[in-house]
Structure 1
Amino acid sequence: MAYVALYRAYRPKAFSEVSGQKVIIKTLQNTLLHDKVAHAYLFSGPRGTGKTSIAKIFAKAVNCEHQPNNEPCNECSICKGIDKGDIPDVIEIDAASNNGVDEIRELRDKVKYMPSVGRYKVYIIDEVHMLTPGAFNALLKTLEEPPKHVIFILATTEVHKIPPTILSRCQRFDFKNIETNDIVDKLKHIAEKENIKISHDAIYAVAENAEGGLRDAISLLDQTISYADGEITEDDVHQVSGSVSKKALIKLLTAISNKEISNAMIILKDLLAEGKEISRIVNDLILALRDILLEKSVKVEYVKYKDLVSIFSFDKIYFYLDILNRLQQDMKWTHQKRAYVELALIKMMEHQTLHAIDYEATIMDLKNSMQEIKEQMKIQPKAVVQSSKKPLVSIKQVESILNHSDKEKKKLLQTGWEHLKDYPKNHLKMVAYLLSQAELEAVSDSMLLVYDDINLCKRILEPETKKMVLEIINSKKHLIDDYIAILKTDWLVIKEVYLDLWKKGSKKPKLPPYDLKLYVDLVDEEKKEPEIISLAKDYFGEKAIIKE
């Protein structure tokens, strides 16, 4: 027996089997129950949303032997005959290939004949917008006053092309894109019936790629079955559909968030090497940002970007979407699409607007954190640190520097800060450059540095780096004995609390416990081998090392 495509095998035969379109189905069922069948209906909406399927079910129902009922029985000879195509009372016409005046005139001549078996002759005209103006004019009179035994059901995906004279003579039903959850339920039902092994994430990927079209979803599932070996995975769906995987989108968005331009370009290059279309990459980026925006705003059933929700502020998402929307428009008029995408990605990472957005986000975080800090000040909880971790910097060190700050010493150090990028001594150049990336906030016998990146904080606090930093700072005159480095977001919170305490009359404010998120793992420190051993392994191999 010849293989039957899944979308044909699982085409609904009753209203209860239709996914979505609940309002339309209820209206048509009430029409059947109360025997108020109109002479002409217009079904408009996106492809694959059930227009033709519901038209066929309705055609069966009006002719079913067990009427009045809100469903065709699918058991009587008429229902079975219509399903098989044996009863000529239901006539399907493809307007795309039968769009001339002559075809419509022929239809107009035949409508006067009585149905052969059922109560009604039902004409289902698909893609009716393809009819010529002359054909529409020929149809108009018949559509206005058809015989009592005739029903017209016009289906179209482009309702704006239908003349107003036709629209005004039909009951219009606007079909909507089918909800993702309804598509998922249908796909699960098919997978269960067909014994298809498919992961939960893969089903959602199929449903989302269909963009509201159930027929497209079932066709994609059918195609993915042929591609996959064994259980269908999310990656299989992305390979077949040409869409970008969630994993790749997370990597790209993370690189954009961290302003890692080279990494973002490598990810883009890899996606293009996999055969992904540039326009699809941009579209999927927009959809991913849309999903993140929804996950930040409302409670969603299926969370995909949990780790990214806290990273992106609303303003930053709007900024990214604005760039990508403009990019989509620009790509329509150029053959250099890749160049436009690369420029847009760089703009998403290096643009003056971002500084304002980041500043606003920091202020919002500060406001949210202030209340937490004030609560901490009231209850004075003990800081709990895991026994396996040792803090690199403590809040007491920050407090000490601020309470003993030396403005003259700070001013002296700042005069030479801009020259650190061009430090003359070769063995200290890298460390001097790293030091130049910090903001000097306060100086006493120690120095308070602030960085935007936690990794830079950790690097500057390494013992070997500390020795070189102190050598640079104290090269002409001994100014400091030590220094600490913290994150800028933490510094803004601490600064606000410190100034608040100062304004309340405390000349040497005592800062409340605060987690600076800078730790060294004691277990890793113990396991860490001397650098000379690591170098020896690289050069001579591990077997060459003699351990005593």
Structure 2
Amino acid sequence: MSYVALYRTYRPKTFSDVYGQSIIVKTLQNALLYEKFAHAYLFSGPRGTGKTSVAKIVAKTLNCRTAPTKEPCGKCDICLGIDKGDVPDIIEIDAASNNGVDEIRDLRDKVKYAPSVGKYKVYIIDEVHMLTQAAFNALLKTLEEPPKNVVFILATTEAHKVPATILSRCQRFDFKNIEIKDIEENLKVIVNKENLKISDEALYAIANTAEGGMRDALSLLDQVISFTNDEITEEDVYKVSGGLSRRFINELLVVIYKKQPQKALDFINQVIADGKDINRMVSDIILALRDVLLDKIRKKVIYPDLKELQSNLIYAYLDILNDLQQELKYTTSKRAYLELAIIKMINHETVALVEFEEKLISLEKELSNLQEQIKNKEFPQANTKVQQPTIENTTQQSNLKPLVTITEIEDILNNGDKDKKDLIASGWSRLSDYDNPSLKTTAQLLFEGSLEAVGNDQMLLVYDDLITAKTMFKPEVKKQVLKIINSKQKLIKDYTVLIKPDWLVIRLDYANQYRSGIEKPVLKPMDLHLYDTTVKETKQNKKRSEIVDFAIEYFGEELVKVEE
């Protein structure tokens, strides 16, 4: 006897064999038991979810010798005949190959004849959306008023293509994708009956790869059985299906997260050499990132090695991969686009920004905890009182003039002008591509900063690094910045600059005071790390000049040599 595929061998023969469609099954069972079934049904839904199988079970239950019943007995001559396909009252029509008006007219002529064996003639029209408009018109009248002992069951994967006139004459049941757990449960039953050795991970991989289709799951299981004679593993499933194993995706995402581009590209080269489909690879990585997100809220963790991957970074990865999916539809250089996407995930400015924001959030949390500890007096008190260093005494020690003072920042914040700030901020994005060539470099510097406040005709800028912040204090840069900001109307007279860590401390202090009811908070003195080093250099040069003059006077000019 020739081998019969698993999806045919284990095709549901009763309602109890149907997985994942409990609501539809219960509704149909009650209708059949109490003889309240309709003359026409429309079964719609994805492939492999049981539409045709349920249609045959309905036909069998209608004609079973024990009817009315919720389940066909499976033992009478009609049930056995339907299973074998020998009962002429059950007519299956493939609308994909019999979609013309002549076939439907032939059906309409024969439908008036009484059933020859059972109580009802049941017409099962598969892929009904493939019928032509003329064929639908020919079917319409018969479907509306069929003979007493005739039931139509229409099955389709694309219900939106069925005319509304047909839909309105049918009871519609929408079959859903079968849940992974239901597919796994059915696979376990079949594996036990077939005496197969298969790991739980492999069962999950088959159920997950099937994407809600029981028939696809059984076909894949059949294929994997042919591939290996030993115990079926997760790796075997992914080798046959062309997908990526969880182990591989885990290792790939780890090297991406750790910013190891060469290792990531080696991984990609390996799977492409194995003949994996690039579109499928991208889809698998996206699904894996979804699982990493879900791992943060569920007990059973699928990717424990990626638990440190922050949600914002995952969203940045997903944005890059979603863009890649769209680009792959219109290019023949799929490998190049995939490699570029991997490099973007490692080095792209969006990812870098997310990582920077995460560091800032972490810093803000630490500052908040520090404030709370100070508030709750959790730090031990020393015997001697330690004076908080101020900008004034720091300046005295270093003999440097501060470029910005805490009083200046306090004045800007306490006299904030939100409307003016919003007006300046509205044109901030245009600074990155400023149209005046002579001001383009300064505009780019300005764009790199963050506009945090505007008050008393002065704006406050914040920069990430000390060098750029100090550059913004140069007179020639200030002159150009004011020219850019006031190009259309005079908005500010001056500006000052802070570095990001200092601004975070100041903002937290100001916010805490403001929330406590202080309308004009007084900021605590602190070192803002920005000084005018030219003062120190001038004094050093002056001192050196006095020494040189004394040496020339004492030893003579011909004997004095000055070296830097």
- 1:303 deviates by 3.1
Do 2:317 and 2:351's aligned partners in 1 also have CA atoms closer than 8 Å?
no
Superposed CA offset, 1:4-46 (max 9, x none):
1111111111111111011111110111122111011000110
Partner of 1:254: 254
Quote the Cα distance in structure 2 between the aligned partners of 1:351 and 1:91.
60
Select the residue among 344, 357, 361 that pairs with 2:358: 361
- 1:153 deviates by 0.5
* Aligned ranges 1:441-456 → 2 under 5 Å: none
- Secondary structure of the structure 2 residue equivalent to 1:137: helix
Partner of 2:87: 87
Relative to structure 1, the CA distance from residue 78 to residue 344 in structure 2 (aligned partners, 3 Å threshold; closer, same or farther) is same
Partner of 1:319: 316
Quote the Cα distance in structure 1 between the aligned partners of 2:238 and 2:128.
34
Residue identity in the other structure for 1:55: A
Superposed CA offset, 1:446-471 (max 9, x none):
xxxxxxxxxxxxxxxxxxxxxxxxxx
Superposed CA offset, 1:309-337 (max 9, x none):
x3222221111111111111111111111
Q: Are 2:321 and 1:349 equivalent residues in the alignment? A: no
Do 1:38 and 1:171's aligned partners in 2 also have CA atoms closer than 8 Å?
yes
Quote the Cα distance in structure 2 between the aligned partners of 1:347 and 1:41.
51
Select the residue among 272, 292, 306 that pairs with 2:304: 306
Do 1:40 and 1:152's aligned partners in 2 also have CA atoms closer than 8 Å?
yes
Relative to structure 1, the CA distance from residue 149 to residue 372 in structure 2 (aligned partners, 3 Å threshold; closer, same or farther) is farther
Quote the Cα distance in structure 1 between the aligned partners of 2:183 and 2:398.
64
**Who wins on radius of gyration, i.e. which is larger?**
2
* Aligned ranges 1:173-322 → 2 under 5 Å: 173-296=173-296, 298-299=297-298, 303-308=301-306, 310-322=307-319
- Secondary structure of the structure 1 residue equivalent to 2:125: strand
- Secondary structure of the structure 1 residue equivalent to 2:309: coil
Quote the Cα distance in structure 2 between the aligned partners of 1:353 and 1:188.
45
* Aligned ranges 1:24-39 → 2 under 5 Å: 24-39=24-39
- 1:62 deviates by 1.1
Cα RMSD (Å): 3.3
- Secondary structure of the structure 2 residue equivalent to 1:41: strand
**4+ residue stretches of structure 1 with deviation over 2 A?**
359-380, 406-412
Relative to structure 1, the CA distance from residue 142 to residue 362 in structure 2 (aligned partners, 3 Å threshold; closer, same or farther) is same
Q: Which runs of 5+ in 2 are unaligned?
A: 379-387, 401-500, 513-524, 526-564
Quote the Cα distance in structure 2 between the aligned partners of 1:131 and 1:323.
41
Superposed CA offset, 1:239-290 (max 9, x none):
0000011111111111111111111111111110111111111111111111
* Aligned ranges 1:34-113 → 2 under 5 Å: 34-113=34-113
Quote the Cα distance in structure 1 between the aligned partners of 2:61 and 2:129.
26
Aligned length: 403
Residue identity in the other structure for 1:183: I
- Secondary structure of the structure 2 residue equivalent to 1:28: helix
Do 1:257 and 1:311's aligned partners in 2 also have CA atoms closer than 8 Å?
no
Relative to structure 1, the CA distance from residue 228 to residue 374 in structure 2 (aligned partners, 3 Å threshold; closer, same or farther) is farther
Superposed CA offset, 1:477-500 (max 9, x none):
xxxxxxxxxxxxxxx9xx98xx99
Partner of 2:325: 328
Do 2:33 and 2:68's aligned partners in 1 also have CA atoms closer than 8 Å?
yes
Quote the Cα distance in structure 2 between the aligned partners of 1:95 and 1:410.
90
Quote the Cα distance in structure 2 between the aligned partners of 1:294 and 1:334.
32
- 1:375 deviates by 10
Relative to structure 1, the CA distance from residue 118 to residue 261 in structure 2 (aligned partners, 3 Å threshold; closer, same or farther) is same
Residue identity in the other structure for 1:179: E
* Aligned ranges 1:362-511 → 2 under 5 Å: 362-366=359-363
- 1:347 deviates by 1.2
Do 1:201 and 1:234's aligned partners in 2 also have CA atoms closer than 8 Å?
yes
Do 2:255 and 2:263's aligned partners in 1 also have CA atoms closer than 8 Å?
yes
Residue identity in the other structure for 1:45: G
- Secondary structure of the structure 2 residue equivalent to 1:13: coil
- 1:294 deviates by 2.0
Partner of 1:480: none
- 1:104 deviates by 0.7
Partner of 2:532: none
- 1:306 deviates by 2.1
Quote the Cα distance in structure 2 between the aligned partners of 1:295 and 1:60.
45
Partner of 2:411: none
- Secondary structure of the structure 2 residue equivalent to 1:115: coil
Do 1:121 and 1:151's aligned partners in 2 also have CA atoms closer than 8 Å?
yes
Superposed CA offset, 1:194-245 (max 9, x none):
0000001000011111011010001000100010131000110010000011
Per the normalisation by structure 1, the TM-score is 0.68
